Amino acid sequence: MPQNYQLPTDRPVKRPTGVLIDSSWPDMFDGLVNIIGGGGSNRTYWVGGGGTVTYPLTCTGWTSNSSEVTGRFGRADNTSTSWYRASNWTCNAQEALLCACW
């Protein structure tokens, strides 16, 4: 993602409220984050990649809502790598989509 979208990798990553998530983009994928948070405990969301990895499990590029296709989800209350790669869902599940912007 940083290479494709000129994402700065040397700046802190914060929630919209200003709460620090991690000290830089690469540090978010080293196995431990402060907290993604938002939405309460056990909050889950769709993810399309993490770190230098782009998951092929994106519900066919976010175009499918089929129960025959899978996508990757993460958990907001987890500070390990499960925040961005908890497990897979079928694409007919309705969940939020985690986005990064700057």
Domains for the chain: give ranges and CATH numbers.
2-97 (3.10.100.10)
**H or E element: which one contains 1?**
none
CB atoms within 10 A of CB 54: 12
Task: Give CA–CA dist 44/41, Å, rounded.
Answer: 9
Torsion angles phi and psi, residue 75, rounded to 5: -125, 130
* Whether this model's pTM surpasses 0.85: no
Task: Give CA–CA dist 31/91, Å, rounded.
Answer: 26
- Residue 9's identity, in one-letter code, is T
* Contact predicate 6/59, CB 8 Å: no
Q: pLDDT digit of tens for each residue in the chain (102 aa)?
A: 677 777 788 888 887 788 888 888 888 777 666 665 555 556 778 887 654 455 567 888 888 999 999 888 887 777 776 677 778 889 999 888 777 776
